[in-house]
Amino acid sequence: MDPEQAHYDAALGRITVAILVLVAAGSLFCGFWRGWTWGLGFLLGAAASHLNFRWLQRIVEALGPAPRVKLSGRFAVVMGLRYLALAAGAYVIVNFTSLSLPAALAGLFVPALAVILEIVFELVYAASH
């Protein structure tokens, strides 16, 4: 396997683990701090953003030098409508459930935090080697 591809796969693995840990910790924290409506809101927001992260990962893998996946027309439509789907989800949370919108919005930042943690890991690892 190409060393760059191995590095990419290892980073993606660490990011995925970080996302799962942050989702669990954030949901538990929100649930204990403000109740189940916050915990579930955070979980739904984090799940939506993780799905978006996976879709973006598929695009990157399809556009890379050695494409590992093939994108379909249906996938392109879904990618184009993902922000509309996110807005619809927020609308449903606000108007039809008692779930916390601020917690759901906080959950949307989970993959971004996981990527920041990976950047810090890479900087520390590069400095020590």
Residue 1: pLDDT band with limits 50, 70, 90: low
| Token reading at 109 | 């930042």
Residue 119: pLDDT band with limits 50, 70, 90: very high
Average pLDDT over residues 28-52: 93
Residue 24: pLDDT band with limits 50, 70, 90: very high
Of 14-28, 70-84, 111-125, the range with the lowest mean pLDDT is 70-84
Average pLDDT over residues 106-114: 95
Residue 60: pLDDT band with limits 50, 70, 90: confident
SS3 letters across the chain: CCHHHHHHHHHHHHHHHHHHHHHHHHHHHHHHHHCHHHHHHHHHHHHHHHHHHHHHHHHHHHHCCCCCCCCCHHHHHHHHHHHHHHHHHHHHHHHHCCCCHHHHHHHCCHHHHHHHHHHHHHHHHHHHC
Nearest to 46 by CA among 97, 100, 111, 91: 111
Given a contact cutoff of 8 angstroms between Cβ atoms, the answer to whether 46 and 107 are in contact is: yes
Residue 114: pLDDT band with limits 50, 70, 90: very high
| Angstrom distance (rounded) from CA 123 to CA 127 | 6
The pTM assigned to this predicted structure is 0.82
| Angstrom distance (rounded) from CA 57 to CA 50 | 10
**Percent above pLDDT 90 for the chain:** 47
